[in-house]
Chain A
Amino acid sequence: MKIDVNQKTMILGIETSCDETAAAVVENGTVIRSNAVASQIDIHRRFGGVVPEVASRHHVDQITVICEEAMKKSGVSWDDLDAIAVTQGPGLIGALLVGVNGAKALAYAHGLPLVPVHHITGHIYANRFVQELQFPLIALVVSGGHTELVHMKEHGSYQVIGTTRDDAAGEAFDKVARTLGLPYPGGPEIDRLAKGGTPTIDFPRAWLGEGSLDFSFSGLKSAVINYIHNEQQRGHELNHANIAASFQESVSEVLVKKTMIAAERVHAKQILVAGGVSANSKVRSEMEKAARTRGIPLIIPPLFLCTDNAAMIAASGTIGFLKGMRADLSLNGKANLFIEDF
Chain B
Amino acid sequence: MNVLAIDSSNLVMGVAVATEQKVLGELTTNSRKNHSERLMPAIAQLLEAVALKPADIDRIAVAEGPGSYTGLRIGATIAKMMAWTLKKELVGVSSLEVVAQNGRYFDGYIAPFFDARRGQVFAGLYENNNGNVVQSVPDRLLQIEDWIVELSKLGKPVLFLSNDLEKWEDLLQTQSYAVLGESTQNVPRAAELARIGARKEPVLDIHHFLPAYLRLAEAEAKWLAKQER
Chain A contact residues, CB within 8 Å of chain B? 46-47, 51, 53-54, 56-57, 59-61, 63-65, 67-68, 78, 94, 97-98, 100-102, 104-106, 108-110, 328-333
Contact = CB atoms under 8 A, between A and B. Distances in A.
Contacts of A65: 207-208
26 contacts: A47-B223, A54-B220, A56-B69, A57-B210, A57-B217, A59-B73, A60-B73, A60-B77, A60-B210, A63-B80, A64-B206, A68-B207, A94-B70, A94-B73, A97-B36, A97-B70, A97-B74, A101-B78, A105-B77, A105-B85, A108-B44, A330-B38, A330-B40, A330-B41, A331-B37, A333-B36
B225 interface: no
A64 B37 contact: no
Interface string B202-214: 0000111011010
Interface residues of B, number: 34
Contacts of B80: 60, 63-64, 102
Contacts of A59: 73
A104 B54 CA distance: 13
Given A57-B217, A78-B85, A102-B77, A109 B206 contact: no
B73 A98 contact: yes
B110 interface: no
A268 to B, nearest CB: 39
Interface of A is mostly: helix
Contacts of B39: 101
B82 interface: yes
Contacts of B220: 51, 54
B54 A101 contact: no
Contacts of A104: 40, 78
Contacts of A333: 36
A60 B213 CA distance: 12
Contacts of B99: none
B210 A61 contact: yes
A106 B86 CA distance: 9
Given A53-B219, A94-B73, A64 B207 contact: yes
Contacts of B34: 332
A98 B40 contact: no
Contacts of A56: 69-70, 73
B210 A110 contact: no
Nearest to A43: B220
